[in-house]
Amino acid sequence: MATNGGSVMKTRILPVSTPTASLGKFADPTTLDKWVLPVEEIPALKEAAVHLLSSSIPVAFPTETVYGLGADATRSPAVKGIYAAKGRPSDNPLIIHVSDLTMLRALLTKPNSTEPIHDKDADPIPAIYKPLIEKFWPGPLTILLPNPQPSHLAPEVTAGLPTFGARMPSSQLALSLISLCGVPLAAPSANASTKPSPTTAEHVLHDLDGRIEIILDGGPCQVGVESTVVDGLCDPPVVLRPGGISLDSIKECAGWESVVKGYKDASEIGNCAPRAPGMKYKHYSPKATVVLYESRAPKPAITGEEGSKVGIIRTKTWASFLSPTSTSASPVQTSTAYTIQQGLLASSPAAEALEISLGAEIKDIAHSLFSALRDLDARGVQLIYVEGIEDEGDIAAAVMNRLRKAASEIVG
């Protein structure tokens, strides 16, 4: 149990079993201007919203990508609560989540401004982002926007940058929670800093038990990797972090034909603040040492000493490393789409191995990657070998970006 101000903090999981159709909707899906809350109150969402507005302790909630750790983005004590709960470096900016475009437009207008934001010609959303919003929102895409001064947002959100990242999640649970709060929620992934991102409520509890009070459980996340982050305020526009929307898909939008990769720029290795979350620090890492084999690297000869235990994550081409006569299927949580094969290494019969095959489909790999790293870690392996994939197109680039940040050693 952790303490907060001298009192014991107990972490509770609040299930949200309401059917998706009853979680709210857009008044007009073509404009995304207003999210309409469900007619009947959902007790778990109501409790979480009251907590977010009255406390500085963040709340974990599911999005379509991963579970987020949310706090009122307009209050400094609340945002500081995110950094404290995660153990996150203070120069790592946060993404804010909005429920509709009306909320976003208000953030882009100076406080007490009399500018007519309902006038199309005065729309504060930069025109470069309109094609992306029309195609990808709500969804796993974050856009960088100019932060007006004075700002509506707490300064800790931007980590001193003149811009802020915003997205509109496609999770109806998340949209209703944000709308119920009436303020944008700053929400990085709900994991301890540097650890694999959480895709289930149980993952959040494992990392943050005693550090927060409420976890909203909406089931496993569908995408499995965080949002793509883009900056359209520069020329050419850049992708700062690969994620659930591919570079090729972005290039199909007007004004984005020349978009380039920007997630290997100097902010990853220098002392300046990163332009987007996930750029600068080691991330997505389990306790075990991770050895990543790039897709073109030869299949390794995995060996182990007597009594040792290794983990193996296979994707497209690796055959099993286990001795066929020693394997057994190990049960895993029902939210995962794989089984763990447990047995002895064929090359080292005295060494034990736990092996997971994520299959060849990119969506399956992305969906289960973080769970696989966590599952192997929880079973006490000292070393995890991972078969990489080609990182061109789709969300494969996001998968490999996360794996390279998780790896202690990269081969090939």
Burial label for 177, CB within 10 Å (0-12, 13-18, 19+), is buried
227 is in an annotated binding site: yes
314 is in an annotated binding site: no
Amino acid at 150: P
H/E stretch holding 273 = none
88 is in an annotated binding site: yes
49 is in an annotated binding site: no
241 is in an annotated binding site: yes
197 is in an annotated binding site: yes
Q: Are 369 and 198 in contact (CB under 8 A)?
A: no
404 is in an annotated binding site: no
Helices (H), 130-240: 130-136, 155-158, 172-181, 201-208
Start-to-end Cα distance in the chain: 43
**What is the DSSP track for 35-75?**
EEPPSS--HHHHHHHHHHHH-SS-EEEE-SSSEEEEEETT-
Task: Tell me whether strands 238-241 and 260-261 are parallel, antiparallel or unpaired.
Answer: parallel
163 is in an annotated binding site: yes
203 is in an annotated binding site: no
3-state helix, strand, coil in the chain (%, to 5): 25, 20, 50
Q: Tokens 């995890």 sit at which residue?
A: 384
Cα distance between residue 268 and residue 51, in whole Å: 35
189 is in an annotated binding site: yes
- Residue list, annotated binding site for ATP: 88, 92, 163, 189, 197, 241, 284
- Residue list, annotated binding site: 65, 88, 92, 97, 163, 167, 187, 189, 197, 227, 241, 284
- Residue list, annotated binding site for L-threonine: 65, 97, 167, 187, 227
